[in-house]
Amino acid sequence: MRKLQLLALLSVFGLSASLFADQVVLSNGDRLTGAITKSDGKTLVIKTDLAGEVTVQWTSVQSLTSSAPLHVATQAGKTVVGPVTTTDGSLAVSTPQSGTVDVARADVAALRNDAEQAAYEKSLHPTLLQGWAGGANIGFALTAGNSETKNLALAFTADRKTSHDEIALYTNTIYATNDAPGAVPPVTANATQGGARYDRNFTKRLFGFGSADFQTDALQNLNLRSVLGGGLGFHAINTDRTTLDFLGGLNYTKENYVGLDRNFAALTLGEELMHKLGASTVLSQKLYFFPNLSDSGQYRATFNLGTITKISKWLGWQNAFGDIYVTNPPVGKRTNDLQLTTGINVSFTH
């Protein structure tokens, strides 16, 4: 008799727990029970007791019921809060102030529980030290015997992107020597670049930017090139897999060569592409054109192409190609400077 009473009591507790848990019914009839944590309108995540976090496609959700309040964000930018049930293809949100509010499934931009909503709101206003991601590239080559050379290539990038702005930092350097007796020149490469750019979104597509870029190249007799500029940009494609931006503006260029100084205003015309090739490789490409406004027919152009393939969470393999073309280098110097590097990439997030 006591065993029957114990079983009945356990059944009541189990039924009560299921009644107070969130439930998701899928289009194939499967039922998930736990706590709904979030949805971005493409997938839905529910934390279950036995299987942990389970992610399902939003289109495969036939119905859902939440016992705890959810923050339902609409495509129009409004957010309603309360326990949610599905009725006739809509989400019925039981709000304490306005009663039941119906939201069409097609209008749902996101679902979040209290913890996810707090994290989302915090992400909208991060401190300057939060939200950074980037990496360091390292390449080194050494020969000895019939040839004696050393080659070192280093690069660093960091990017902080929020919903309304973006800060990008970069620097790279390449240094190479030919140590064979009588080799001329003994230093075969000695160039450094670095800079920063700030973007501010005005609309979903349009943004403004300001940038500062600096370069030295000993073999081109370039002591320092400083380029300060700004303008407008357009997000032609902006998805998780692909971004394509077009930029246009003005810049002020100051060049100091050995025995030669040039200062002039120029246009900034550029295009930037980022595309994810599969699950582990990212391709990036940048093309810029800087026509001199003070001396018609003179210009500078830059092209960069690179890939990073992840080997682990923080380690990858990188390849980078760069070309800087100047129509009017100092006398005796070539118009093109090409760089090709390869090596490991160490990534970070903060």
Please name every residue paired with 264 in a beta bridge, in sequence order, or none if there are none: 253
Mean pLDDT for each 10-residue chunk of the chain (350 residues)? 45 44 89 91 88 89 90 89 85 87 88 88 78 91 85 94 91 92 86 96 95 95 96 93 96 95 96 93 96 93 96 93 93 88 89
Instruction: Name the segment(s) of the chain with CATH classification 2.40.160.40.
Output: 132-349
CB atoms closer than 10 angstroms to residue 144: 9
What's the confidence (pLDDT) of residue 20? 58
Cis status, amide bond into 96, omega within 30 of 0: no
The pair of three-digit structure tokens given for residue 293, joined into one six-digit string: 């406004």
**How far, in Å, CA of 62 to CA of 57, rounded?**
11
Q: Percentage of the chain with pLDDT > 70?
A: 94
Structural contact between residues 24 and 35, judged by C-beta atoms closer than 8 angstroms: no
**pLDDT tens string 10-31:** 444 344 444 458 999 998 988 9
> What pLDDT does 128 receive?
80
State the CB neighbour count (10 A cutoff) for residue 175.
16
DSSP 76: T
Which CATH code of 3.30.300.100, 3.30.230.70, 2.40.160.40, 3.30.70.600 fits the domain covering 132-349?
2.40.160.40
Rounded to an integer, what distance in angstroms lies between the CA atom of residue 325 and that of residue 297? 13
112-139 burial, b at 16+ Cβ within 10 Å, e below that, comes to bbeebbeeeeeeeeeeeeebbebbbbeb
Backbone angles phi and psi of 137, in degrees to 5: -105, 140
User: pTM for this structure?
Assistant: 0.72
